[in-house]
Chains A and B, each alone.
Chain A
Amino acid sequence: NAGVTQTPKFQVLKTGQSMTLQCAQDMNHNSMYWYRQDPGMGLRLIYYSASEGTTDKGEVPNGYNVSRLNKREFSLRLESAAPSQTSVYFCASSEANPSRGGGYEQYFGPGTRLTVT
């Protein structure tokens, strides 16, 4: 099993350009997440998808859109990149399900390092 995979690993964008970060998991997990990590900070939740076909905003959603393409894939799109979006982006997945009690760990991908100039 590959677990959670992310592409690309590195990306440099100019201000105003757009791009899509791809994420896929092969663990048949219900829930998927996008986080960003800035230097010296913990992770902050951008968007999450509790099940196929649903997406919801997290703590810092402005400037981003997401698509839960199917149960395996969850993409993050920057429509018009800004320097403030320079960060490392992590995708994660979990067995967590709103209809069940909690207590599930998250599995993380290796991250995408994005620089916006």
Chain B
Amino acid sequence: SQQGEEDPQALSIQEGENATMNCSYKTSINNLQWYRQNSGRGLVHLILIRSNEREKHSGRLRVTLDTSKKSSSLLITASRAADTASYFCATDAGSGGGADGLTFGKGTHLIIQP
């Protein structure tokens, strides 16, 4: 079953605006990761936040994690046309140090209008 659920399912904004997408999950986790998938391609890792962290930044990306609400958000600032893609959250909730795989949500499809 899907562990994470992204919200919204689709998001369309103007270039230069900020994009925020949310992820909720069901069980306790070790870490939560965000991935990007361009159309027809494999997934690319964006950022990882551990369960004892509340916020993390990487370039134009900001991720927050609220373990009490079992939710995370991904903020992309100053969006660009090249940010058009699907974004997935994935949780590591196993006991295998991540070797036993991740559980992915259904994704948010982000469209940046030029």
Contacts from A to B (Cβ < 8 Å): 4, 30-31, 33, 35, 40-45, 48, 50-51, 56, 58-59, 90, 92, 94, 96-111
Knowing A42-B2, A102-B31, A105-B33, say if A97 contacts B99 (CB, 8 Å). Answer: yes
Chain A residue numbers with a CB within 8 Å of B106 are 40-42
In the complex, 14 of the A-B residue pairs with CB atoms within 8 angstroms, ordered by the A residue number, are: A35-B104, A42-B88, A59-B1, A96-B96, A96-B98, A98-B96, A101-B97, A102-B31, A103-B31, A103-B48, A103-B50, A103-B92, A108-B44, A111-B41
B97 x A98 contact (CB < 8 A): yes
Q: How far is the CB of A1 from chain B (nearest CB, A)?
A: 15
| CB-nearest residue of chain B to A108 | B42
The interface on chain B, measured as residues whose beta carbon lies within 8 A of the other chain's beta carbons, has a size of 29
B residues lining the A interface (CB < 8 Å): 1-2, 4, 30-31, 33, 40-45, 48, 50, 88, 90, 92, 96-107
Select from chain A the residue with minimum beta-carbon distance to B43.
Answer: A108
Interface of A is mostly: loop
Q: CA A11 – CA B2 in complex, angstroms? A: 27
